[in-house]
Amino acid sequence: MTLAKSDLLFDLKRNHAGKIKIKAWNKSQVVMTGTFVMLLLLTVYGFLTFDYKGISIVEATMSTLHNVKLMFLQPLLSHFSLGEAMYQLSLTMGLAFLSTVLGALLSVVIALFAAKNLAPKAVSNVIIVVVAFIRAVPTVLWVLIFAIAAGLGSEAAIIGMVFHTIAFLVKAYAESFEELDEGILEALRASGASWWHIVIHAVLPSTATSLLSWTFLRFETNFTVAVAMGAAAGAGGIGFELFMASGFYFDLREVGFITYAILLVAIGLELLSTQLKTRYLKSSTAN
């Protein structure tokens, strides 16, 4: 068998029947494989040329294992009580909840004008470009930008988190709106329904489950961001206590306790999100 193009790469595989399968690699596979191999070689080169400054690999490994043992097998609070830890966790939850609720309410309105099937194309394109630029900047940078303007504290953290939440949810909500059947929207317009009637009675009810899913996903993200912002922006909460335990007290056992507390809250949020989505999905299906 002759091949027309000699520059193609072929993957020859022999199956159990003894036949040879010829699979041509497309351009994207070649680029991805080449990129992976290059990154692997650079990683190996970096490890080989890294200046370890006389550090013993064995001693460093044993020290790391000892620190991991202190953090995760012997967690203990030393510098504040359990009640204060619960209060700091609730404060972090409050930051995440407030930023998510404000961002979601504003995002629903903006997303209606960002969806191409509900708004003029020019308006939709402008909004999409703006939110894409906002999303390109990490949340922590927006928080630091607003911290310069409003000062360090929970206000700057909430404003920065809301700013990035809006950019994320507008894209997610708009894509959910655009997945609606265009025939239904055209039928409603032909029957004389106004834009607001279409939004209230068709768009929002049909996409409620998707909007709820995206909102809870962002809430979980905002919780982890609020932990980081507790130290970076001086917003307080459990993130500030984690920063103090790791960078100021260097209390590894307290770091482990706080890490477990954050992990339990994150798992609880995931379970709550799943239950609410399942219950809402069942109720909407029944109706």
CATH number, position 265: 1.10.3720.10
261 pLDDT more than 70: yes
Residues 270 and 145 in one domain: yes
Q: Tokens 């194309």 map to which residue? A: 121
Q: Structural domain tally of the chain?
A: 2
Q: pLDDT value at position 112? A: 92
Q: How many residues does the chain have?
A: 287
Q: Which pair of tokens denotes residue 110?
A: 């903006």
What is the average per-residue pLDDT within 29-40? 90
Residues 14 and 136 in one domain: no
Residues 65 and 185 in one domain: no
Residues 53 and 186 in one domain: no
Contact 185, 195 (CB under 8 A): no
Dihedral of CA 259/262/266/267: which sign? Answer: positive
Task: Give the C-alpha distances (Å, rounded to integers) separating 39 from 27, 43, 49, 199, 222.
Answer: 18, 6, 15, 48, 31
Residues 182 and 139 in one domain: yes
**CA angle at residue 54 from 53 to 59, to 5 degrees?**
120
Residues 64 and 86 in one domain: no
Residues 97 and 59 in one domain: no
Q: pLDDT value at position 124? A: 92
Give, rounded to a whole angstrom, the gap between the first and last alpha carbons of the chain.
61
Boundary-marking domain end, from 45, 71, 97: 71
- Interatomic CA distance for residues 247 and 236, integer angstroms: 15
Q: What are the residue ranges of helices labelled H in 115-181?
A: 121-136, 139-150, 154-178
Report which of 5, 3, 23, 27 is spatially closest to residue 14, judged by C-alpha positions.
Answer: 23
Q: pLDDT value at position 5? A: 45
Residues 138 and 242 in one domain: yes
CB atoms closer than 10 angstroms to residue 212: 16
Boundary-marking domain end, from 71, 102, 119: 71
Q: What are the residue ranges of helices labelled H in the chain?
A: 27-49, 57-73, 82-114, 121-136, 139-150, 154-178, 182-190, 195-198, 204-232, 238-243, 252-286
**CA angle at residue 239 from 236 to 242, to 5 degrees?**
120
pLDDT tens digits for range 152-211:
677 888 888 998 999 999 999 999 999 888 888 888 888 888 888 888 888 988 888 889
Q: Is residue 3 part of a domain?
A: no
Residues 155 and 16 in one domain: no
Report which of 195, 191, 163 is spatially closest to residue 99, judged by C-alpha positions.
Answer: 163
Q: pLDDT value at position 139? A: 85
| Host domain of residue 58 | 10-71
Residues 128 and 200 in one domain: yes
Residues 84 and 63 in one domain: no
User: With bands split at pLDDT 50, 70 and 90, how would you rate the model's confidence at 22?
Assistant: low
**C-alpha 36, offset from chain centre:** 24
Helices (H) and strands (E) in the chain, counts: 11, 2
Q: Is residue 277 part of a domain?
A: yes
96 pLDDT more than 70: yes
6 pLDDT more than 50: no
Q: Which pair of tokens denotes residue 149?
A: 């303007």
Q: Is residue 1 part of a domain?
A: no
Residues 17 and 89 in one domain: no
User: With bands split at pLDDT 50, 70 and 90, how would you rate the model's confidence at 36?
Assistant: very high
- Which amino acid is present at 20? I
Boundary-marking domain end, from 49, 71, 93: 71
